[in-house]
Chains A and B, each alone.
Chain A
Amino acid sequence: MITFNHVTKRYNEEKTAVKDLNFTVEKGNIVVLLGPSGCGKTTLLRMVNRLESISEGNIVINEQDSMDLNAIELRRKVGYVIQSNGLFPNMTIEENVMIVPDLLGWTKKEKRERFDYLMKLIGLDPKIYRKRFPHELSGGQQQRIGVVRALAADPPVMLMDEPFGALDPIIREKIQDEFLQIQREVKKTILFVSHDIDEAIKMGDKIVLLRDGEIMQYDTPSEMLTHPKNEFVSQFFGKDRAIKSLSLHTVKNLQEVIGLAHIDDAIEDTKTINVNQDLRNTISMLLNQEADQVIVTDDQGERIGSITIDLVQKYLHFEIKGKLSVSQEG
């Protein structure tokens, strides 16, 4: 858990980067700091591990004031991932990943076992990569190593500064999925900086939307999309926020609420979609093909029904439009 109490960052009399922030990151949650550039999100992140000093207020990490600990000790307890992976070119992958355990004085055997475990977590063969150097890896692999390095000493709290920002869209999406998978297993408390709305919606259990060092709204992604608190929030998420919010719902959610349609056998040439896919992808699939239905399959590949634009619209009406209209009234 990370709690921010009246946290303020002032560079000098005129310039205040972060203004009196109060919020809590619950244990095991990912909270995304989102906002336009220069809104203070990276500064706020770096205040947690004291790479930036705190002018006023305090930050409490798991019941301990961050100022009570020595900065070095604090940083070893908090995982840190940066955008340009930050791998050290002079060290092998194993040495890179095991930096914090090494600083903490783990034994050789402990380090080796941990390295093997971590590499398996990201699906890379520890034997192959142990003695390799960073420059021998692809950008995606390097970033995975960067993430795993922050997990090395099993810190309860992680800070991630646009960790996937430098990757191309296809690899970024893949690594995001992979990371969410890992997070389900390790359940870290994570503060995540992003400027990408789609990434924030996908990764965040909650989002902090910042502007000029102030919180515009702190909410779950769906609340933010359906109930924007003010003009800035609704503008930031854009006119298409109803469509964006579709990516928060899966075909499975729709099936649970209104059920799927029967498969129309008369139509031969249609695509299939996994039941765990989100509705945003489903809609674009429906719009991209001639047939007006897409066959839904479960994880075993069994056809369990079909989905149509009408169904999505119906679901939208129940789930999203309802909420949207409420917000417009209020």
Chain B
Amino acid sequence: MNTKKLIGNSFRFFIYGMVLLFFIWAIKNQYFSYIFSETGTFFVLLRQHLELVLVSSIFAILIAVPAGILITRPKFRKAEWLVTNIVNFGQTIPSLAVLALMISVLGIGFQTAVFALFIYSILPIFRNTVAGLDTIDKNLIDAAKGMGMKPHQILFRIELPNAAYSILAGIRTAVVLNIGTAALAYVVGGGGLGVWIFTGIQLFDNGFLISGAIPVTLMAILADYLLRKLEYVLVPKGSRRVAKA
């Protein structure tokens, strides 16, 4: 137990050290300078990036969660394999290919990037919603029915609270992935911090590259942290332990 802890801790501090070294190296070489010298552009790109992520994630949640709920209703159960396969298929297409395909339909620009990100976020949310609802003990549903709960009462009072952990984990995965993938929006003229990253790659300019990449990374870490906090608030206290077990 103690050795495990020791290894864990030393590994963690090693990583912290590396991150620190990286920042010292980057700052020494003035790789973050663009953030300060071109503050205006930086904030425009940051806003675009956030918009890409937010719009696509919100649409994905609005579609995938209800779809997951619908497909687990007894009436639609039979269609589950079909829908799951379609959604899975969507995920197997590389994100760049989705972008390229979308250009031919929607042209270039913000809407194309949002649509591609939206397609890409659906699967993790949908799959976790279905899994969360499926793993609820059938006896609970039986007891709820036997006590005279209506289907919508069973859904909102029993199923969703007990599946909340799994659904929110799916949303978290989707959003974090989305923040990284949104850098590709540059390819279809969607803007975002990808603009600096790709400029940096093309010009072999570490300054642009790092000024674009580090904010994206920090954004992903921050989003992960905040969504974990949200889970803590939204998942009912009694189900939390069950969900983790």
Task: Please count how many residues in chain A sit with their CB below 8 Å of the partner chain's CB atoms.
Answer: 26
Cβ B238 vs Cβ A80 within 8 A: no
Cβ A72 vs Cβ B238 within 8 A: no
Q: Which of A74, A84, A92 contacts B238 (CB 8 A)?
A: A92
Q: Which chain B residues (209-243) contact chain A, with CB distance < 8 Å?
A: 236-239, 241-242
Cβ B236 vs Cβ A80 within 8 A: no
Q: Which of A88, A135, A149, A159 contacts B140 (CB 8 A)?
A: A88
Cβ A75 vs Cβ B148 within 8 A: yes
Known A82-B142, A84-B139: A89·B147 in contact at CB below 8 Å: no
Known A82-B139, A89-B242: A103·B161 in contact at CB below 8 Å: no
Give complex CA distance A159, B142 in Å: 13
What 5 A-B pairs are tightest by C-beta distance, nearest first? A86-B143, A75-B148, A76-B148, A133-B238, A80-B146
Q: Is A283 an interface residue (CB 8 A)?
A: no
From residue A16, how far is it (CB to closest CB) to chain B in Å?
Answer: 23
Q: Is B162 an interface residue (CB 8 A)?
A: yes
- Please name 7 pairs of A and B residues whose Cβ atoms are closer than 8 Å in the assembled complex, sorted by A: A75-B148, A82-B143, A88-B238, A89-B236, A89-B238, A134-B238, A135-B241
Interface residues of A (CB under 8 A from B): 49, 51, 72-77, 80, 82-84, 86, 88-92, 99-100, 103, 133-135, 149, 159
Q: Is B145 an interface residue (CB 8 A)?
A: yes
From residue B223, how far is it (CB to closest CB) to chain A in Å?
Answer: 26
Interface residues of B (CB under 8 A from A): 137, 139-140, 142-150, 153, 157-158, 161-162, 236-239, 241-242
From residue B151, how far is it (CB to closest CB) to chain A in Å?
Answer: 10
The chain B residue sitting closest to A149, CB to CB, is: B147
The chain A residue sitting closest to B141, CB to CB, is: A86
Cβ B238 vs Cβ A99 within 8 A: no
Q: Which of B143, B153, B236 contacts A90 (CB 8 A)?
A: B236
Could you say which residues of chain A place their CB within 8 Å of the CB of B150? 72
Known A86-B140, A90-B161, A90-B162: A75·B239 in contact at CB below 8 Å: no
Could you say which residues of chain B place their CB within 8 Å of the CB of A51? 142, 145-146
Give complex CA distance A135, B243 in Å: 12
Could you say which residues of chain B place their CB within 8 Å of the CB of A49? 146
Known A89-B242, A90-B158: A74·B148 in contact at CB below 8 Å: yes
From residue A322, how far is it (CB to closest CB) to chain B in Å?
Answer: 44
The chain A residue sitting closest to B164, CB to CB, is: A90
Q: Which of B146, B158, B236, B237 contacts A75 (CB 8 A)?
A: B146
Give complex CA distance A49, B140 in Å: 16
Cβ A89 vs Cβ B239 within 8 A: yes
Cβ A99 vs Cβ B147 within 8 A: yes
The chain B residue sitting closest to A99, CB to CB, is: B147
Could you say which residues of chain A place their CB within 8 Å of the CB of B236? 89-91
Give complex CA distance A112, B161 in Å: 24
From residue A36, how far is it (CB to closest CB) to chain B in Å?
Answer: 22
The chain A residue sitting closest to B241, CB to CB, is: A135
From residue A307, how far is it (CB to closest CB) to chain B in Å?
Answer: 45
Could you say which residues of chain B place their CB within 8 Å of the CB of A72? 148-150
The chain B residue sitting closest to A73, CB to CB, is: B148
Cβ A103 vs Cβ B139 within 8 A: no
Could you say which residues of chain B place their CB within 8 Å of the CB of A92? 238
From residue A52, how far is it (CB to closest CB) to chain B in Å?
Answer: 11
Give complex CA distance A149, B148 in Å: 13
